[in-house]
Amino acid sequence: MVTYVLRIKGFTPDTLPLSRLGQYLSALSDLVGPDAPVHFDRVTKGSAKLKVKISEDAAPNIESRVRLASVAEPNSEPRRAYEKIQGLLREDQTSAEFRPDNGAVILAFPGGKKAPPKRIASVREYGELNGRIIRLGGKDDTIPVGLQQSDGTVINCTATVELARQLKQYLLEPVDVVLNGVGRWTRTAEGLWEASDFKISECYPLQYDGFDEALEKVRMSGSGWDTEQDIDAVLHRIRYGD
C-alpha cells in the first residue's frame, strides 16, 4: 500500500471541526475516485494531514488522475472534486497540497490564502482639521485637546497654553472650529488618511456662509461668474446640458 496525504494548512487535528473533516474527506474521495481501492488512514499532527492508503497497482493511475484534475474537463468528476476542495479552502482562507507521504507535491490547491496586510504609510506634515472641542485640560506647557469630527472620530491634539485659552470658549459648545497645525497622517489599509498627534498652531470658528454670500465672493474673485445673470439656468445647463 502507498500512503498519500492531503495536507491542509492552517488547521491541526485539534482545530479542524468534524463536520469540516467530513466535507474534505468526501471531496478527497471524489478526487481519487469513489470506486478506487483507497482507504482512509488517519489525521496526523502538525497541519491537518488527511492520510489515505492506495494499493500499489492503482497508485499510478490515481496519481495521474489527481495530477490532471485542475485542468480536466469542466464537468468531469476529477475537476468537480478539485473545485469542491478549492471552494472549501477559500471559505477557510487557507491552501492545501496532495502528495505521497514522503514525496513531492502532485497537486497544489491555492485555495484562498490570506492576502498580506497592506503597507501602511505614515507622514508628518502640516494640515487642517475641523470639528468640535470635547476635551481640554492639563497643567503642563502642552495642553491635551480632544477634537470630535462629524463622523464621531476623536482626534488627540495638543495646544499651547495661549491657544488652549482661545479654545476654552468652544469647549462642549455646538460650534465647529478649524484647527491648523502639524500632525502625523497615517494611510489605513482602506486607503483613508487618519490624523494623530496633531500640534495646533492656529484655531478659529468655522464659518458657514449662505449661498448668496458665497456666490458674491465667487463673483468678486474675477472667476467670470459676475457676468452671469441667471444662475439657476447656468447650474441647470451644467448638470443636464443644453
What's the pLDDT tens digit per position in 86-98?
999 998 888 899 9
Four-CA torsion 152, 156, 162, 168, nearest 10 degrees: 30
What's the pLDDT tens digit per position in 145-173?
999 988 778 899 999 999 999 999 999 89
Q: How far apart are CA 187 and CA 67, in angstroms?
A: 44
Given a contact cutoff of 8 angstroms between Cβ atoms, the answer to whether 8 and 16 are in contact is yes
213 pLDDT more than 70: no
Q: How far apart are CA 22 and CA 40, in angstroms?
A: 11
Q: Can you tell me which residue has the cell 449662505?
A: 210
| pLDDT category of residue 234 using cuts at 50, 70 and 90 | confident
118 pLDDT more than 60: no
How high is the pLDDT of residue 178? Answer: 94
What's the pLDDT tens digit per position in 25-67?
889 888 988 776 666 555 665 567 888 888 888 888 888 899 8
190 pLDDT more than 70: no
Of residues 78 and 39, more confidence is placed in: 78
How high is the pLDDT of residue 32? Answer: 86
Of residues 113 and 11, more confidence is placed in: 11
DSSP 225: G
Does CATH number 3.40.50 belong to domain 2-109? no
**C-alpha closest to that of 128 among 186, 203, 209, 191:** 203
Burial class (CB in 10 A: 0-12, 13-18, 19+), 104: exposed
How high is the pLDDT of residue 242? Answer: 58
Q: Where are the domains of the chain?
A: 2-109, 122-205, 211-240
Given a contact cutoff of 8 angstroms between Cβ atoms, the answer to whether 10 and 63 are in contact is no
CATH architecture designation of domain 122-205: Beta Barrel (2.40)
